[in-house]
Amino acid sequence: MTMILNEDTVKKAVESYFTALGFAVRTTPYPGSPGPDNVAYHEVKRQLWLVEDKGLQDDSANRLGGFQDGLGQLTRRDPSMWKEKSGFGPLVKEDIVYYALALPDRADYRALARSVRKDVRKALNLYLFFIEEGEPPLVTVIPPDEEVG
C-alpha cells in the first residue's frame, strides 16, 4: 500500500519521531490551526522544538509556496508563547529552542531546502526533517550545519 505524504501524515511521522525519543508532543488539531504543527519538549534535556510540517503538493508553484509559508511561519513563532500554550510551562533560560521544517523526502523538496543557505539555517537553528514513505515512515534529520543531500 502506498502512503500519501500529505501534511497530516508528515505531522504524525514527526510526532512519532519525538515520542520515541522521550519528548512530550502537542500537535495542532487540523491544518490551518494557529501555531506550530508540532511542539515537542523534553523536560530533562530542556529542548523545545517548534516544527512546521508540509505535505506533498502536486505542482511546483504549490511546493514553493508551501515551503516559503513554512519558513515564514517558523520565523514568526514565539517559543515562550508556544511552550506555555502547549502546556509545557514557561520558557526558562536553560531551555534550548530548535526550529524545524518537515517535508516529504523527494528531490524537489530537497532542492527547495538547499536554497536556504547553511549560514542562515545555523543562525536560525533550523533543522530539516525529510519524511520518507514507508510503514512506519522514515524520518531523516539534517542539522543546520550539514549540507542537504
Model confidence band, residue 40 (pLDDT cutoffs 50, 70, 90) = very high
Burial level of 145, CB count in 10 A (0-12/13-18/19+)? exposed
How many angstroms separate the CA atoms of 26 and 64, rounded? Answer: 27
Other CB atoms within 10 A of residue 123 CB:
10
Strands (E), 7-135: 24-27, 38-42, 47-53, 96-104, 126-132
- pLDDT tens track for 90-110: 999 999 999 999 999 999 999
pTM, entire model? 0.93
Provide mean pLDDT across the span 50-64: 89
Q: What is the mean pLDDT of residues 68-86?
A: 93
Residue 1 pLDDT class (50, 70, 90 cuts): very low
pLDDT at 32: 67
